[in-house]
Amino acid sequence: MRVHARTRSTITAAGSALLALAVLAGCSGSSGPEGPGSGSGGVLNVGMPNGPQANNSNPFLDTSAGASLGYRAMIYEPLAMTNVVRPEQEPKPWLATAWEWAEDFTSVSFTIQDGPTWSDEEPFSAEDVAFTFELLASNDALNTAGIPYEDVVLDGSTVTVNFAESQFVNQTRILDTYIVPEHIWGELDAPETFENQEPVGTGPYVLESFTPQTVTLTRRDSYWQDLPAVEELRYTSYNDNNAQTTALANGDTEWSFVFMPDYENVFVDRDPENHKLWFPTGLGIHGLWINVEREPFDDPALRRAMAMVIDRQAIHEQAHAGLYPALENPTGLPLPAGESFLAPEYQGVTQEIDVEGARQVLQEAGYELDGDTLNTPEGEPVSLTLTDPAGWSDYLTALSIISDNLAEIGIEATVETQTVDAWTNSVNAGGFDATLHWTNTGATPYDMYQHIMDGDSYKPIGEASPAGNFGRFQDEEADQALDEYANATDEETRTEALHTLQRILVEEVPMIPTVAGPIGAEYSTKNWVGWPTEEDPYAPPQPTQRGALDVVLNLEPANAAD
């Protein structure tokens, strides 16, 4: 595919229904910052519990340090700024001043800003936008959302992107695209492996220094919008949740997303006036992803039995300290947010622990319980390994609960840990038996179900599937329902497709939902004010979200009014 020019635009204006994507940052795990988190001198200290980082600032790779810590959002900018916690809101124009969708959502036309410059002082232009979409279209490893790009047309300050099929469900993903400079990325032979250690973006910050523990960004005076009050951003990657929690409590970190049990005592009560947290939720969830290509877990009956014995309330209370809402409906839909999407047969239904019912399901499928051991119909003992990153205390507590639950039906489940990088690569390549992981979120449950069971994201074990379907689930009916939802021209068809997807998740169990997924953060108002709150939800509060730049641009020194 190549960019080509045309003389005039023929795009038709379309509606502005937008679906939000939230690639939730993990609650994972380094040593402390190089200095105290005073916030003085225009410094904002950000922390994540994600362990030592490799020097990689490729904005398209979710495995890069820029994504793991969130600083890519301060260097690279999107075409529009979307708000995943309020997906019904109109996106804010950013590198694009306006956009129009075709009526069938097979093309979108962007009007590009005049005035931004790259941080190396080269001018930004529509050519960079057209190049970025061409780059994604020609490189599957960078096109992690699997957008079916077909054609890119450049006409002055207008860039039109054409698609092979309707992109109704991917509008926000496309608006969220980070734009990169053609004069740098156009010279690369392998952009998918480019470590980008000297990143050049249109954002207000440049990378000043990088160590495996701390990344420092400094403000550049030539930014095209009003300069942020924050002059310097220091990102520290702690080894685990405990270290990150201590840094928040002591004030060494002023902004983070980390799971902390007993957060009132260990964080809020340490400085009640300034220590705050806000954990809004969307329609994404966390759950136990099962590798359905590994025997005997390719059997839906076994997966249904496993789902019947999982103690979701214990996971909600003990593993996630009540911060992640419990899931009671078997469809996995968080309630009440998902109430209006429920199929009639699942309205008012609560999934409770049913060990005897699970044993009955297994018996009817030919499994036998020999003492405390469940044997397959072929006489082999059923066992599996539950894997998540070391230091992710909430996930590991949940895995311990799940291990005990599965023992009730004779399944031996062993908990093992990995580094964050090793785990991410393993999840993407299908190198696991079962693992706790989050899903995408959006304005409807489509994003959640698509992330779990989309056959278009399927890859054989050993090949990376970063777009989702980590469990390697394949089902023609699910693919048809996802396709019908994405391409429907009426709400009735979309509703029926969602009902089908709910039934498939309940009956085939490609993943076992455990808790709803918050898009939360902890922060301090001691040095900086202007954070998003439930009363002013202008952006998701999490520092690893694509809207993190919007947060930083809204911050002001706490003493500004003095």
pLDDT in tens, 455-476: 999 999 999 998 899 999 999 9
Dihedral in degrees, nearest 10, Cα atoms 259, 544, 274, 557: 170
Three-state DSSP class for residue 229? coil
- Whether 391 shows a pLDDT value over 90: the answer reads no
The mean pLDDT of 165-174, rounded to a whole number, is 90
Each residue's pLDDT tens digit, 495-542: 999 999 999 999 999 999 999 988 899 999 999 999 999 999 999 999
Share of the chain above pLDDT 90, in %: 80
How many angstroms separate the CA atoms of 370 and 176, rounded?
53
Q: Compare 559 and 133 and report the one with higher pLDDT.
A: 133
How many angstroms separate the CA atoms of 285 and 446, rounded?
12
Per-residue DSSP letter, 270 = G
How many angstroms separate the CA atoms of 142 and 192, rounded?
6
Please report the pLDDT score of residue 13 as a whole number. 30
- Whether 4 shows a pLDDT value over 50: the answer reads no
Inter-residue contact 436 to 487 (CB < 8 Å)? no
pTM score of the predicted model: 0.75
Please report the pLDDT score of residue 38 as a whole number. 43
Per-residue DSSP letter, 315 = I
What does the block give as tokens for 58? 């490729």
- Whether 34 shows a pLDDT value over 60: the answer reads no
How many angstroms separate the CA atoms of 264 and 379, rounded?
50
> What single-letter amino acid sits at 320?
H
Please report the pLDDT score of residue 261 as a whole number. 81
Cα maximum dimension of the chain = 76
Mean pLDDT, the chain, whole residue set = 90
Query: For 558, left (φ over 0), alpha (ψ -120 to 50), or beta?
Result: alpha
The mean pLDDT of 410-418, rounded to a whole number, is 97
Close Cβ partners of 145 (under 8 Å, ≥ 6 residues apart) = 21, 170, 173, 467
Query: Any long-range contacts for 204-207 (C-beta under 8 Å, 24+ apart)?
Result: 204/74, 204/228, 204/549, 204/553, 205/71, 205/74, 205/75, 205/233, 206/75, 206/119, 207/57, 207/71, 207/75
- Whether 15 shows a pLDDT value over 50: the answer reads no
